[in-house]
Structure formats: structure tokens, C-alpha cells
Chains A and B, each alone.
Chain A
């Protein structure tokens, strides 16, 4: 064996004192070992659990990356030999060289030192990575006060979970009224939804097998529920834990880590959800407020000026926006048109139809005049513009101011009340089909006269159907009594009296429908 020169020893000493030169040192020692033992080639392997991993080679020969001591080695058939070392093994060729000498001892000790160094490095890595996990939990915790964007938050949570668990796949589900819905996925497809009480999913969250469709293609899955105070809010699932050798199952420690993470994520997600709800509520309130303002603009701002007549109108919706409508229009040829309508339904859809009614009335009156077929045209327009279950009851009248002749049509609305000068109460135009229901409906006009001293009252069923606590309705009779009893008062005061009477009758029972009244008195 050729001994190492002084220079060789000095080089080796320098390498041994440099922390990052472990591999060059081993490489030099291996080269020296091969030279010393006339070996064509050799490889140093270090112990890694049940396997030996190749660390360093010398010579032109190929050596396997990993060597399994428990499995038969075909290499032996090709003239390779193996000697075990405390920290691993040497594989070398040919297999008949003597081994008990200083160079083998050097290699063995260097291998031990290298393995210790590697183990220390691995432990330091794992310890540092615990720091990364804590930071990840802290980061997600920060999101509680930070990101309220549900989409962005969901992505952050899923990416953190996948990263922390060294997973290859992941999916985040949020629980809503219709069950678990896939919010975010990573690394592949995921089942889009699960029913609220899906038993397979519940078993998986409790630690059992995953549903096959959850992360298709993933072989090893882990999932934990996201909960707020014991109430489920969602699920985080990860698939295929990575290592340097491929993928494998998750460990119990991973379930604990993911559980801790899910707790933090739950708070962040709940905050984001509540924020989203608050924004939506705010948006709806703004829209309702805007719609209410638009509706106020649609209704008459004040009584129209019609010589010989006093006119007043009043409306109170039962919510921010309503489905009642009243309006006055020029019916052409000196005639005065008045309308009072009630749209089916409540809230925004009803308010939108009121707007349609208002526009259609004015447009059709302006374009075609208010003559024969006016209500039919209005009916067709509404039938085409609204959905199948929406309709409008309408009382429409044209007044010839000079003569007092009143032509009126009723499309399914409450009959108007005509209080004569002599105290007689007449009902005008009961029956008829509401507008928007039957496209081919026909409407028949009727005529009466408004004489000096007569009072015409149009109203919506919010007045006559206002209920007392015992469910008794206000009714047309009571309305007629109010009109009769207060007939000599100015119209504004009459309306106050009607409102007061209805409110008193209801005895605190909440208003259940829009209330509208229009009064027309012929004075001259």
C-alpha cells in the first residue's frame, strides 16, 4: 500500500477542519483507499434507516443509489463485495482485497463523523421547521385581523396547509346551507360538493377512510373539520405526504398540526364570512334605500291643480319599498286621468313592477291616448314585461272636468267609493281581471258622473284589509263611515282621519300591506 505523503496529510487535515468539506474529504479518503487496496472502484454508503444511501464513489463503475441489505444483491454476481462499517458500508470491486488497515479505519471514522453531521443537520432542520409551522399558525392568526377577502383567505389557508404538511394535494371546503362546497383546490381535481350529513365524509373527518372521490388519484389522505365552537364550518383535506423517496401516509403528528391549523383557519374564515354578509346587507340596504327614493319620485309630489276639483293622494308602504301606486295624468282632449294600482308580492320585485306600471301608463297615454283599448294595451305590455306570477290590480278613471263625466275601468282592484252630495254611497267597478295575468283580457269601461259636492275615493286593500289583533278587517263599511263623517273637512284632513282610524283599529297590529288613498272632490 502506498502511504499518504506529507502534502496529502496536510490537505486532508485542512479538509477535516472545514465543516462544508466533508464530502471532498470522504472523496479523497475513498480515492486513497482504492489506491491502497488496488480496488478498481468503490462506493461509500451511509445508514438511512433500513437502507444504505450512496454518499460517494470512486472509479468508473456504476453503483446503485440505494442498497437494501435485506434484499438479494445482483451486484455480487458482478464481482462486487461489501464490508459493513459502523455508519454504513463500503461496496467495492474486486471483492478479494484485504481490509484491516489504517485507510479502512480512516474511511470508517470519516463515515461516522459524516453520518453524525447529517443527523445533526436533519435534527436542526426539523427544529427550524417547527419554527416555520409556528410562523404559519401565526400568519393565519394575523389574517383574522387582516384579510377579509374570502377568496384570498381561502387560498392562503390551503397553501399554508399543503406546505406545512409536505402534501402534494389539497382541498378546502366550506359548509353552507346546501352542504360542503369546494372553495379551493391544489394539485389536482377534487369533489365539488358533499351533502351536509354525508356519512363517508363524517367518517373521514373522524379519522377513517376518505371518500374515493374527494381527491381522485391521491393514495393517502388526511382531513380535519373546521369548526367554530363545536359547529362545523368546513373541511381541510390534504393528500399524499411527500418525502425524498416519494409519497406516503400522513402521521398522527400531522393530524395534530392540521387540527391546530384548522382552528386558526376557522376564526379567519368566520370573520371573512361575517364581513361578506355585512357587506351584502349593506349593499342591499343601499339598493333598497335607492329604490325607495326612486319610488318616492314616481309618486305625485303634490296634488294636481284641476279647476273645480280638490284632489289629494297619500301612500304609506309597509316596508322600505312598496307595491302600491297612484298617479295622475293628462288623458288628452282636456280629460284628467287618475290611477291607483296594487302590484302582487312585496319588496324589490314589486317595486320594480310599480316602476314598470308607472312608465307604461305614461308612455301609452302619451303615444296612443287614453281611449278604447288603453287598458288592453297596458295589460299586454305588463304581461310581456313581468314574470308569470306577477300582476297588477288597477282602478283607472278619466274625468271630463267640465261635465264631471267619469269613465272608469277596474282591473281586479277594490271598487272605488263615490260619496254623493246627499250622503249616498256608491261602489264603482267591482270585478275585472288583474293586469298582466291574461294577455288577451278585455276590459269594459263604465260611466258615472261626479256632481258638485260628490267625493270619489280610490284606495288599496291595505286600508280595507288592515286587521285588528282579533283578525277582524277594517272593511269598506268603516271606510265609508269615515268618508261620510269627515266629508266636510279639507281632503288632507280627511286622509289623516282615515289613517288615524285605520291605525286605531289595528291597535298596534303591525301594518301588513301598503296603504294608499286618493280623494277627488268636485267643488264647482
Chain B
């Protein structure tokens, strides 16, 4: 697994999918935040974070993800996560992220779920 985070984006009408590969730590989290805020500035109010390439998120990364969630709430947007490892999914649940962001098992279900609730 690549430890430094790589972020790629697939832009679609009104929403975007952000793919992560690597460690979501301080640096990784900041990169995700940078991309997310840029997408928000572009007018996209639905973001899906696909964490298929990420096996590990530390507390700094989680705090940054929470900030992104708060920003999405502020702009009345929606944030979803998909393809989480069991450990990350459990961590998100304990940390309360699942109360404010939707968590899906895979991308297809995530896209269907986010579009439905938009």
C-alpha cells in the first residue's frame, strides 16, 4: 500500500467522487480537504469519498474528515463514504461520522443512495 496519500477525482454533474489511495493522516487529510473545498467552490454539493485504496486513517485524518462533513452540512450538501475496510468503518462509527455522513459498502450503492437522498 502507498503510504503517502494520492487523491483522484471523477467529476460529474452536480457531484464528484474522490478516490483515495494511501494513509489518511495529517497530510493526507489536508489533501482531501483541499480537493473537497475546491469541488465545493465549483458548486458540487454531493461528494462521495471512495476509500478503496486506504487501509488506515489516524485521528488527525478523522478530525479533518469531520471538518469536511461540517462544511458540507453548512452548505446543505451531502457527503458519503464507500469501500471502507472493516476497521475504518468501525472507527467511523465510534467517532460518530456515520451520524452525519452516509456510509455505503460499495460505489454503486453509494451513488444510488446519494442521488436518491439529494
Interface residues of A (CB under 8 A from B): 20-21, 23-24, 125, 128-129, 131-132, 135-136, 139, 159-160, 162-164, 166-168, 186-188, 242-244, 246
* 19 further contact pairs, Cβ within 8 A, besides A125-B59, A244-B60: A23-B74, A128-B95, A129-B94, A132-B91, A135-B94, A139-B90, A159-B56, A160-B87, A162-B56, A162-B58, A163-B56, A163-B87, A164-B58, A167-B58, A187-B23, A188-B3, A242-B26, A242-B60, A244-B26
CA distance A187 to B3 in the complex (A): 5
**Are A166 and B3 CB-contacts (below 8 A) given A20-B70, A135-B94?**
no
Q: Which residues of A contact B62 (CB under 8 A)?
A: 129
For window 28-75 of B, CB contacts with A under 8 Å fall at: 55-60, 62-63, 66, 70, 73-74
Inside 8 A of B3's CB, which chain A residues have their CB? 186-188
**In the bound complex, how far is the Cα of B60 from the Cα of A129, in angstroms?**
11
Interchain Cβ contacts under 8 Å between A and B, 26 examples: A20-B70, A20-B73, A20-B74, A125-B63, A125-B66, A128-B94, A129-B62, A132-B91, A132-B95, A135-B90, A135-B91, A136-B87, A139-B87, A139-B90, A159-B56, A160-B87, A162-B23, A162-B58, A163-B56, A164-B58, A166-B60, A167-B58, A186-B3, A187-B23, A242-B26, A244-B26
Nearest CB of A to B76, in Å: 10
- Dominant secondary structure of chain B at its interface with chain A: helix
Interface residues on B, range: 20 to 34
Residue from A128, A139, A187, A188 with most neighbouring chain B CB atoms (10 Å): A128
Chain A nearest CB, measured from B100 CB (Å)? 9
Is B20 part of the binding interface, using a Cβ–Cβ cutoff of 8 Å?
Answer: no
Residue of A187, A242, A246 ringed by the most chain B CB atoms within 10 A: A242
Choose one: B59, B70, B94; the contact of A166 (CB below 8 Å).
Answer: B59
Q: In the complex, how many angstroms separate the beta carbon of B69 from the nearest chain A beta carbon?
A: 10
A160, A164, A166, A243, most chain B CB atoms within 10 A: A166
Identify which of A23, A125, A128, A163 contacts B58 (C-beta below 8 A). A163
Collect the chain A residues with CB atoms within 8 Å of residue B70's CB: 20
Closest A residue by C-beta to B64 = A244
Complex CA–CA separation, A187 to B1 (angstroms): 10
Contact of B113 with A by CB under 8 A: no
Docked CA distance A160–B62 (Å): 15
Q: Find chain B residues with CB under 8 A from A187 CB.
A: 3, 23
